[in-house]
A and B are shown apart, each in its own frame.
Chain A
């Protein structure tokens, strides 16, 4: 009787839950833009990190090339597929004050404008908030450079409180670093719809893991 009771207890307390290792991703650090944008001296601080699947290829500009031009991406990730390639670009836009920032919606409008024609039913704009940033996720399909293309993008900026927390005084070096931390950022992926759908989960997981390396000070 006792043996049956003990077996029953063991069965009750057995947990089926297992950690599934579905993501062979690892953290990678991404540097911000030049700390001294108006000078030939190039110094960049690692500002962001994200979980990158091991199959993705990363492309960085050579260390001697200036990144003060915000049209240049901080880095690019390439996803190779049998049917083609996807390209993820990471940009940031440092600013000195809240008023200098551009609304995330404006970035979404710009992306929409890049399509020669956009299928209205495919447009999906969803508010996003993670890592202290908030903004929008954009998804849309249409004709881009004459080809059927799908685009996914995240246009994010720090919350007002978080931005102000990073405007604290500090040493000159800290101020330069905080300016990079305060920057808005965008993640944009374009490619053939069938390839995008295949890698969509990995891309979303990558985007949602994108964060500042250093935590934002939580108290003003």
Chain B
């Protein structure tokens, strides 16, 4: 009895109070340092604030205050201020202890237009199990099984017990069971693991939907320089065979380039006839000059592939030199809007008489790098390239099969379909597109510019279709690879007839003189231009009157602009021409040449009119199943950075299946199917239902006036109390919390995306202190009154003495 009495006085004594205050202060100091050193609140909470010893400390505080008050028994009037103060303290402490154990603190994520009545409690663990509703297959039956984390890691469970999961360590009653037919057993737990999303390459095989798995080769183990093809097969409805190659390497760009070069042939053709002059492997023109009947060719490949940016203007550059002295540096882009076209610096002269095309087998190339990222390359039969990257930690696409019950997949849409166009097809399509545009423009145009009006009038006389004649003329001119229409070429009859009817007589003298002078000058310059000499260098050998001083300097920045300026200059020399100097053309070919000079003065040429046509989407789609792989990792300093992983065994009708699940920290990861797609499982935080349903109507950023600087963030909510179905419209913001009558508080934490380019998602923190109104707040008021009374009593006592 004496011991109890001593203990009673000790617990209620001032020494014990001092000890508790000192211990609490020490804990808080350690907690603060810990949090500051590790930048982890969770670590400080787990070691200090949420630790059972700290909770015990609060309970001892409670006992100390209670006993110190009881020690005054029997109470006298003079004890009233003291007792009131202690009552306030007890209410505050009691409120804190109850809030820690029965309060709510969680996060709700809700998208505009959607609603939610659940919050997830951070740093808690649960296993979500779902199945189809037996009567309504499009609805799901779901149940979460909370897991209790044990001190020192792992979860509270009895792994050796064969009873079903919910009976074993969750204590769910039989009547509440939604999944009585299955048992779930926790086999293993890893406190930190790395989750890798596996797409095309899984282990040493490539899994492509609709095809047998085919092997992946380690690039280091290849004995020959020739890269092996894993399989050859048709894809989808395509009638063409595709070579499929798969490798694992550290240098993706090098291997992809090697695979690309391996089977490509370069075909050199004569533009006029389309006849092939040379067909050699790309590798050979990359090493040496290759000669053909009319010239020689050498090339350089800029594959330009990088992990972060993908392809950056991949292109083949070839230098062509013809025996006629014509030269061109041709660039062939391998993807993009101008893919496969022969582009060259002297394109203002027209198309080069020789074309270069690529030919290769259609190929799908899968490469996995050291980080586990899958790189998919597709090479078209005409040499065009396509790439898509599938990082192991991020989904680039997702296909959900049957709400996830049949699993997930990723896909790639490859823009090389059944009849993907070659260069010649693209050029022809561009020409048809131009014809269409011209016909449309002719319907709307009231007046034509003078050179077109001249041709139009000739067409009216000949009865020929203007657009048809104009395009034929432009194509013939473009194919001649010269600044003006060639002097010796076979004109089709309809074109020759129309050209013969062009009437130059009515045109002003400067036009006639300009045409004549342009033809005269360029007959001397054209051979130099064709041989690749820059017009800038040619200025020195032109007649004195056309030297650079006479040219508008701002227009002579490019070769094309310079030549156009020269031509336009000839047409501006009004006073230089005299009637007796002009000899009007008298043959269709001469007319054609004069007309081309007139066109050049107005910058009219096939290349300047051509609008690149966006090729129609002609694609094939390939798919592969999405799976995950896990690597155990050592624990991170910050517990927040750890990704726990579970291995569970699901048993049904005596048959078991194992499934690995990584922790979905925000409760929004994929649910993985098991047991032939009858169940979905997810390892997630514990979700808690609220008595309120929150609908997010509008989330927005408020800016300072006339600025894009954010002033505030706001969210319009519709809060419905599910107990009486009453709804309240409210707006929460960074400084405005919504509080319900029963103490639920809703704070706006985050809005994503910030701009209104897509429906926004708001993160709302929900807090509920059940004791706030009858313990915490009244406790605070009572404590204040008690302290005031204590002061009053002391001052009254001092006055009396």
Interface SS, B side: mixed
Mask: chain A, 181-220; 1 = CB below 8 Å from B; 0 = not:
0000000000000000000000000001101100111101
Could you say which residues of chain B place their CB within 8 Å of the CB of A217?
A: 114
Q: In the complex, which residue of chain A has the Cβ closest to the Cβ of B791?
A: A2
Q: For the side of the interface on A, what is the size category?
A: 20 to 34
Q: Does B116 sit at the interface, judged by CB under 8 A?
A: yes
- Name the distance in Å between A185's Cβ and chain B's nearest Cβ: 12
B112 close to A130 (CB less than 8 A): yes
Say yes or no: A218 contacts B114, CB within 8 Å: yes
The answer to the question of B756 belonging to the interface, with a C-beta cut-off of 8 Å to chain A, is: yes
Q: Is A68 an interface residue (CB 8 A)?
A: no
The closest CB in chain B to the CB of A218 belongs to B114
| Interface 9-residue window, one of B217-225, B491-499, B757-765 | B757-765
Q: Which residue of the partner chain, among A130, A133, A170, A218, contacts B116 with CB atoms under 8 Å?
A: A218
> Is A134 on the interface with B (CB-CB < 8 A)?
yes
Q: Contact check, A169 vs B137: say whether CB atoms are below 8 A apart.
A: yes
Contact in complex: B110, A130 (CB < 8 Å)? no
Cα A133 to Cα B759 in complex, Å, equals 6
Note all chain B residues with C-beta closer than 8 A to A216: 111, 113-114
**Residues of chain B lying within 8 A (CB to CB) of residue A211:** 113, 697
A99 CB to nearest chain B CB (Å): 11
Given contacts A130-B698, A208-B698, contact A215 B115 (CB under 8 A): yes
B755 nearest CB neighbor, chain A only: A127
In the bound assembly, the distance between CA atoms of A215 and B695 in angstroms comes to 7
- Chain A proximity of B2: nearest CB distance (Å): 46
Whether the Cβ atoms of B137 and A132 lie closer than 8 Å is no
Q: Does B308 contact A (CB under 8 A)?
A: no
Q: List 23 A-B contacts (CB under 8 A).
A: A2-B788, A126-B756, A127-B755, A129-B112, A130-B698, A131-B112, A132-B114, A133-B113, A134-B756, A134-B757, A134-B758, A158-B759, A159-B758, A159-B759, A162-B111, A168-B138, A215-B113, A215-B695, A217-B114, A218-B110, A218-B115, A220-B403, A220-B404
Q: A128 to B116, alpha carbons, bound, how many Å?
A: 23
Is A215's CB under 8 angstroms from B698's CB?
A: no
List the B side residues contacting A215 at CB < 8 Å: 113-115, 695
- The chain B residue sitting closest to A132, CB to CB, is B113
B760 and A129: CB pair below 8 A?
yes
List residues of A (80-139) whose CB comes within 8 Å of B's CBs: 126-134
In the docked arrangement, what's the CA distance between A129 and B114, Å? 13
Q: Mark B687-731, 1 if CB is under 8 A from A, else 0.
A: 000000001011110000000000000000000000000000000
Tell me the nearest residue of chain A to B138, going by C-beta.
A169
With a CB–CB cut-off of 8 A, which chain A residues contact B760?
129
Please measure, in the bound complex, the distance between the C-alpha atom of A110 and the C-alpha atom of B522, giving whole angstroms.
Answer: 49
B673-698 residues at the A interface, CB under 8 angstroms:
695, 697-698
* Distance in angstroms between the alpha carbons of A198 and B242 in the assembled complex: 65
Total chain B interface residues with beta-carbon distance under 8 A: 24
* Residue of A129, A170, A220 touching B756 (CB-CB under 8 A): A129
CB distance from B190 to the nearest CB of A (A): 27
User: In this assembly, does B586 line the interface, its C-beta being within 8 Å of a C-beta of chain A?
Assistant: no
In chain A, residues 14-73, which have Cβ atoms closer than 8 Å to a Cβ of chain B?
none
User: When the two chains form their complex, are residues B115 and A129 in contact, meaning their CB atoms are under 8 A apart?
Assistant: no
B697 neighbours in A (Cβ, 8 Å): 130-131, 209, 211
Q: How far is the CA of A147 from the CA of B444 in the complex (A)?
A: 25
B30: interface (CB < 8 Å): no
Say yes or no for B400: interface residue by CB 8 A criterion.
Answer: yes
B756 contact set on A, CB distance < 8 A: 126-130, 134
CB neighbours (8 Å) of A158 from chain B are 113, 759
In the complex, residue of chain B having the shortest beta-carbon distance to the beta carbon of A129: B756
Give the residues from 127 to 141 in chain B that come closer than 8 angstroms, CB to CB, to chain A.
137-138
Kindly list the 3 A-B residue pairs having the minimum CB-CB distance in the complex, ordered from nearest.
A132-B113, A218-B114, A129-B756
Bound CA–CA A126/B757 (angstroms): 9
Q: Which A-chain residue is minimally distant from B109 (CB atoms)?
A: A218
Contacts of B138 in A (CB 8 A): 168-170
A132, B698: Cβ atoms under 8 Å?
no
In the bound complex, how far is the Cα of B115 from the Cα of A211, in angstroms? 13
One digit per residue, 1 when the CB lies within 8 angstroms of any chain A CB and 0 when it does not, for chain B 400-427 equals 1001100000000000000000000000
Collect the chain A residues with CB atoms within 8 Å of residue B137's CB.
169
**In the complex, how many angstroms separate the beta carbon of B323 from the nearest chain A beta carbon?**
53
Bound form: Cα–Cα A141–B116 in Å: 41
Q: Nearest-CB distance from A209 to chain B (Å)?
A: 8
Chain B residues lying within 8 Å of A168, measured Cβ to Cβ, are 138, 403
Chain A residue nearest in CB terms to B114:
A218
Q: Closest residue to B112 on the A side, CB-wise?
A: A132
- Which residue of the partner chain, among A129, A131, A212, A220, contacts B758 with CB atoms under 8 Å? A129
Is the beta-carbon distance between A220 and B114 smaller than 8 angstroms? Answer: no
Additional A-B contact list (9), CB under 8 Å, known A129-B760, A132-B112, A215-B115: A2-B788, A129-B757, A130-B112, A132-B113, A159-B111, A169-B138, A209-B697, A215-B113, A218-B110
A218–B762 alpha-carbon span in the complex (Å):
13
Q: Which residues of B contact A209 (CB under 8 A)?
A: 697
Of all chain B residues, the one with the shortest Cβ separation from A126 is B756
Measured CB to CB, the closest approach of chain B to A176, in angstroms, equals 15
* Nearest B residue to A159, CB-CB: B759
* A212 to B718 Cα, complex, angstroms: 13
Complex contact A162–B113 (CB within 8 A)? yes
A220 to B113, CA, bound (A): 15
